[in-house]
Chain A
């Protein structure tokens, strides 16, 4: 129907074609487009927040921070977490409070940071195929209505219009959901690793000073 031509199109033409393509699918396509936008916003945010920065294990990182203090460069979330934890350990020592509790209290915001937008991404991944299905059902209703009145209007309600709606929306729903599912899962694994490492930080610092 719309062959992809080799020649370059101007941006306006491209946008025009895109809008045309979206309109063949009806309202549902725009809903999916917005969902897709939010999904990638969430994925991007999560990607940057989970950016590791420092490689190597936690113990070495803590040693580095202890040795260099303020001079240690902050490369990622783990660096900030270690710095905060060390500071909290210092404080706890001064006031004689339970060090482990003090540190885990300081690290709490990091846990919620690591999991930010997680629910949104999961929701959109579940939702996108459902929205696609909704579009399909609406398209099928349109098709069968047009069949009933045997009208073949090129625009508006029609047999071919309904079928194209039905197919485009399902396709876009899956196109939105599948990358979100895969990348979201990878980021979730990353976040789980961060949580483990936060626990490790708490353990290492609190046991180190007890010795």
Chain B
């Protein structure tokens, strides 16, 4: 019952409200329309304004863009210009440095030329008014003139020293700037530096014909010439190397080799005497003995050769003494005798060959020690002076030469004597056996 009454109430309220709303609706409609019209007008106005603004802004934007572009182009142009000018600047500064360098170089060249040409009495102007090019031109021009002058063969009057120290006047033929010939009444020949620009007659080889030919500008097939570097330093005369000088070059080892050589020669001499003794009378002895033995007279044969000395004689004597014994025994006796004699015959033989083998080795030793000394000198004084080097080497080589000079004859003669000794031994055996055979033949 209660629910029914609430529904009833709700319906009454709704009916009431709806009645009042429908009363107001007409009024609201009118207000709304009024408002709507007003807003619409406002909107149109705003839209119009917006449109105008947009156009204006676009125009402005365009203008600024163009401006920026113009500015950018300008900037580019300017930076390009800067680059070019900086490059130019760099180039210029480089050129400047080069010019400065060249200036220094030219100055140096000119100075050098001045110094080099001064000894020959040629001067190059040193005034500020002449520029570098002029100076260089002058230096080169004068150098070329001097060069062609110096490299020619020219005859001059002058003085030079003779080997005995006398100064003589005469003609001097200068070959370029490296050699000279002197012709005076007293003597003529190649000239060598005597120090301080003076000349002296070179004594090594007689070259007066060459000097005269050079003076007359004749052609010769070969010329003797003494070439020098400059005239400031005196060159020592070449003295003919004597035996004593050579020995001194060889030093201690040279003397040892020399002594070995002498010793070897003495031994060879003794050996030759030995062999001569052993072999001189072989022919006579065999002839006598063969004659007697063929007819069986062995005692007579022994008597006949009693007076003979030497190895062969001894061997044949002992053969004859034992000839009656059987063959084996006789042969043993012969061999034993030959063996005995061969110590005498071969005496000194191997020793000589040992000396011949040792001498070149000693020479090599001397050369090596000499070289070591030479190079010690060089480590101390440097290689500036070729004389130190070449003189040392030539002295060092002397011992090798000595060694070979000793070894070669000793080897040759020693070997030949060994051959001789061998042939003596062979012939002794041969002769003794021959006699034995003859005797056996006689006995039958």
Contacts and interface: CB of A to CB of B under 8 A. Distances in A.
B238 interface: yes
Interface stretch (B73-81, B224-232, B312-320): B224-232
Nearest to B386: A147
A149 B394 contact: no
Contacts, number: 129
B394 A138 contact: no
Given A149-B236, A153-B204, A153-B225, A97 B440 contact: yes
Interface in A161-200: none
Interface string A141-167: 101110111111111110000000000
Interface in B160-209: 190, 192, 202, 204-205, 207
Given A105-B437, A157-B238, A120 B205 contact: no
B404 A137 contact: yes
B390 interface: yes
Interface in B213-270: 222-229, 235-236, 238, 241
Contacts of B391: 144-145, 148
A102 B327 CA distance: 10
B429 interface: yes
Report which residue of B205, B398, B434 has the largest number of chain A beta carbons within 10 angstroms of its beta carbon: B205
Contacts of B443: 95
Contact of A141 (B228, B331, B398): B398
Given A94-B444, A123-B415, A112 B423 contact: yes
B411 interface: yes
B204 A151 contact: yes
A130 interface: yes
A141 B204 CA distance: 16
Interface residues on A, range: 35 or more
Nearest to A151: B226
Nearest to A96: B444
B415 A119 contact: yes
A133 B404 contact: yes
Report which residue of B360, B419, B436 has the largest number of chain A beta carbons within 10 angstroms of its beta carbon: B419
A147 B405 CA distance: 24
A108 B404 contact: no
Contacts of A64: none
A127 B412 contact: yes
A17 interface: no
B400 interface: yes
Interface string B388-412: 0011011001101100110110011
A140 B225 CA distance: 20
Interface of A: 91, 94-98, 101-102, 105-106, 108-109, 111-112, 119-120, 122-123, 126-127, 130-131, 133-134, 137-138, 140-141, 143-145, 147-157
12 contacts: A91-B437, A101-B327, A101-B331, A102-B437, A119-B422, A130-B408, A133-B404, A145-B390, A149-B236, A151-B202, A153-B190, A153-B224
